[in-house]
Amino acid sequence: MAPAEQAPFYGRGFYGAVTVSERGQIVIPARARRDLEIGPRDKLLVLGDPEQGLAPMKLDHLMRNLQGSSALLQQIQQVAGASDAAGPAGAPGPAEGAEEGGGSGDGEGGAHGR
């Protein structure tokens, strides 16, 4: 199959190599722009990692991911908050033990008095 007759691309892929210009610019390959629906005036964020390099991402894609992550984060915080209030299994809850001064009962003031 000739390069111009390649099968349609769906999902992740390699789009070729680009060269950084003297002004620090690169050209996103046409096939990548088409497959990822990147058009003129689209806003791209450039994410970076010292070990993995750069990753340009469309702003609207990132916003959708963050909205989903925000809902997940809220659920995790609710679960974590509920488990923090209960304390470790077998340990007194936040109000238990407070009537006795909050100590360990050893007369030493608990861990704070050591």
pLDDT (0 to 100) of residue 62: 81
What distance in Å separates the CA atoms of residue 71 and residue 10, rounded to the nearest whole number?
Answer: 28
pTM of the model: 0.49
pLDDT tens per residue across span 14-38: 899 999 999 999 999 999 999 889 9
What's the whole-number mean pLDDT along residues 56-85?
A: 82
Which stretches does DSSP call E strand in 4-109?
Answer: 44-49, 53-58
- Decide which of 2.10.260.10, 3.30.70.1250, 3.40.50.150, 3.40.640.10 is the CATH code for 16-82: 2.10.260.10
pLDDT digits (tens, 9 = 90+) for 87-112: 665 555 555 444 444 444 545 444 44
AA letter at 31: R
Residues 6 or more apart in contact with residue 106 via CB below 8 angstroms: none
Q: What confidence score (pLDDT) does residue 8 get?
A: 57
